[in-house]
Amino acid sequence: MEYDIINLSYENFLQWYDYINEAYGENHILTDWPFLNWFYGGYIDKSSSRYKTLIAVLPSGRIVGSYGVLEAEIRVLEEKYSFCWYVSGNVLPECRNQGIGKNFVRILLEKFDVCGVIGFNEGVKRNYKRAGFKLFGDRILRRFIITLRPECYELVDKIGYDSDVARKMIPILETIPKPSKDVINLVLFDSKIEDCIKTMESTVKVNIVRSSRYLNWRYFLNPRINYECIAKKDGNKWLGYLTARHEQFFPTDIFGTRILDLMGHPEIAMALLSSIINQSKERGDAFIEFSYTGNYYDEIMKELGFTELVNQYYLLWPVYSTPIKRREQNIELICLGSQRYPDLFKNIGFNDLYFTRGDTDRDRANRM
């Protein structure tokens, strides 16, 4: 089959619109121009109308596949590298097994120092393994939850799982931690934000570089989602921050809070988590959840009353909120790879990583 792989650009939008409708169905968020421009445009200034996202195009101009790119920097030990997350990789069924997906992966490995993915199925996993990616023992993005109101169990029933199991496994939290008095609301991240990240570096060996520019793009420039951002500071020194998303689980009138990112020493993180738990309880949220890799915050999560959802219980509560729906398979696998530095992750284990739902595409807007 004859096709070209090019970068997605403004000029391709009409063909892109048709492709997304065919691949994912109508009214998909990736056909929402403001969101698409933010999502694939990234925080780095574009010098042209072209994105880093790749598309496969037939001679007729029809788009038959794409590999989305979320650009960032990644820190591995003491060095920083150019990086991209692969997101929303897809090839239309009639065009599969033609090497399109393999070429997408190859091209992006040549362009970036490091590439990574969170969330993929077993079929795609084989492709990444052949390309030399490290899968960290098939470990997944870990998921922790606190239940605050009985309505949280209704959500379990509504997606077809057993709410009795959920009640027995995770009862309503009875002891609410006291909020910290010196937690502030954020409207902007400034250039000193990396102060609070440095406290983690002796334990965390791999993480996304959270510059002020990156964080402001990620949490304050999203055209479709409003985030809650809080922090602790000592004078002008940043100690830690937390970002969250207050969500309604359509079509119900039940709300919950998803913590998307948390940075800072565990003592600081505990104060931030205590504040968001209090806020969520007061406004009637049914539950709070937080997902991350590694084990940096495990002790304080346990102390505050979070329970990790593991094995068959991982999907008890909805992963999607607009609308809620049942997921049969946990695909939150993670892998990282580098063609330029093939041994970069040789001595890196899962507990050396710190990625959150806010780092990649595991949090995004949706259309009803």
Residue whose entry in the numeric block shows the structure tokens 């008095």: 181
Fold of 4-138: Aminopeptidase (3.40.630)
* Distance set, CA 58 to CA 3, 65, 175, 245, 265 (Å): 5, 10, 60, 40, 51
- Select 142-330's CATH number: 3.90.1150.200, 3.40.50.10490, 3.40.50.720, 3.40.630.170: 3.40.630.170
Sorted by where each begins, the domain ranges of the chain are: 4-138, 142-330
Q: Amino acid letter at 151?
A: E
Strands 334-337 and 114-118: antiparallel
- C-beta of residue 306 within 8 angstroms of C-beta of residue 144: yes
- C-beta of residue 332 within 8 angstroms of C-beta of residue 359: no
- How far apart CA 251 and CA 318 sit, in angstroms, is 12
Q: Which residues contact 331 (CB under 8 A, 6 or more apart)?
A: 119, 120, 121
Which pairs with CB-CB distance under 8 Å and at least 24 residues apart come from 156-163? 156/316, 156/317, 158/252, 158/318, 158/324, 159/318, 159/324, 159/325, 159/326, 159/327, 160/326, 161/315, 161/316, 161/326
Q: What pLDDT shows up at residue 47?
A: 61
Tens-of-pLDDT digits for all 368 residues of the chain? 899 999 999 999 999 999 999 999 999 999 999 999 999 999 986 666 789 999 999 999 999 999 999 999 999 999 999 999 999 999 999 999 999 999 999 999 999 999 999 999 888 898 899 999 999 999 999 999 999 999 999 999 999 999 999 999 999 999 999 988 899 999 999 998 988 888 898 899 999 999 999 999 999 999 999 999 999 999 889 999 999 999 999 999 999 999 999 999 999 999 999 999 999 999 999 999 999 999 999 999 999 999 999 999 999 999 999 999 999 888 899 999 999 999 999 999 999 999 999 999 999 888 76
- How far apart CA 103 and CA 78 sit, in angstroms, is 31
Q: Same CATH fold, 142-330 and 4-138?
A: yes
